[in-house]
């Protein structure tokens, strides 16, 4: 399909269904989940283990073949944790795995298939240790991790830093630095004075943003009808 043939009422009903699913089935698995969460296909999001906290306006886009998972290893005497700031975005296939502590700052942008882990999970010789060694991982504010990037144990990534697609990050990345490669190396710098347009700017007024998006959807779906949507599903034509 080249465009969305749904009538506006169908879009609104689907969005209400997703929001209700988040409240009923997903939110209880978080230790804390801030207001204005937007989760696309929330049934493909897994929260496993305790101490997973997310701030306001988290945005997750999952698919059946690209689930998003937040996993905490939790032996009773030393449970791990995942702390997510405000206005963060997680694309399909993202995996966050904590044996100790992973902190993700406000406005982080994680593209498809990003993996962050604070542990190797198995020792070179001892591969059955129930308490694997770990070192905390910290992402600053407004960090952008490209498609398929990997961030390993003990890494700190500074504010506004960018990690290129498929990069393997095993060392700290200073603020306002662009890295790429495997292993990741510095390939550029950002002006620390910006100006930066961040997800915090976009989502800082959720009510205003919701009103804007509703107006945009109404305009986008103007002219769509239930019969037209059925026709596009049952008898698709070139140009649909």
Residue numbers annotated as active site? 122
**Site of tokens 């209700």:** 20
Secondary structure class of 187 (helix, strand, coil): strand
Packing angle, helices 206-220 and 8-21, rounded to 10: 140
Specify whether the CB–CB gap between 168 and 184 falls below 8 A: yes
The pairing of beta strand 185-189 with beta strand 177-180? antiparallel
For 100, the token pair is 């100790």
d(CA 93, CA 91): 7
Specify whether the CB–CB gap between 163 and 151 falls below 8 A: yes
d(CA 25, CA 220): 30
Specify whether the CB–CB gap between 162 and 129 falls below 8 A: no
């Amino acid at each position: 399909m080249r465009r969305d043939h749904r009538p506006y009422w169908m879009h609104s009903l689907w969005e209400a269904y997703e929001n209700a699913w988040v409240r009923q089935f997903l939110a209880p698995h978080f230790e804390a989940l801030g207001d204005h969460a937007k989760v696309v296909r929330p049934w493909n999001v897994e929260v496993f283990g305790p101490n997973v906290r997310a701030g306001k306006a988290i945005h997750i886009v999952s698919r059946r073949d690209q689930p998003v998972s937040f996993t905490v290893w939790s032996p009773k005497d030393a449970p791990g944790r995942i702390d997510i700031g405000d206005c963060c975005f997680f694309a399909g296939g993202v995996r966050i795995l904590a044996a100790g502590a992973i902190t993700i700052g406000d406005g982080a942008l994680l593209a498809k298939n990003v993996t962050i882990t604070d542990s190797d999970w198995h020792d070179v010789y001892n591969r059955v240790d129930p308490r694997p060694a770990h070192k905390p991982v910290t992402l600053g504010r407004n960090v952008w991790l490209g498609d398929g990037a990997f961030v390993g144990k003990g890494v700190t990534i500074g504010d506004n830093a960018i990690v290129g697609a498929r990069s393997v990050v095993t060392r700290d990345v200073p603020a306002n630095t662009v890295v790429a490669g495997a292993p990741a190396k510095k390939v550029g710098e950002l002006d620390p004075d910006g100006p930066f347009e961040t997800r915090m700017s976009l989502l800082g007024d959720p009510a205003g943003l919701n009103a804007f998006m509703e107006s945009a959807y109404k305009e986008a779906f103007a002219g769509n009808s239930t019969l037209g949507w059925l026709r596009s599903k049952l008898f698709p034509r070139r140009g649909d």
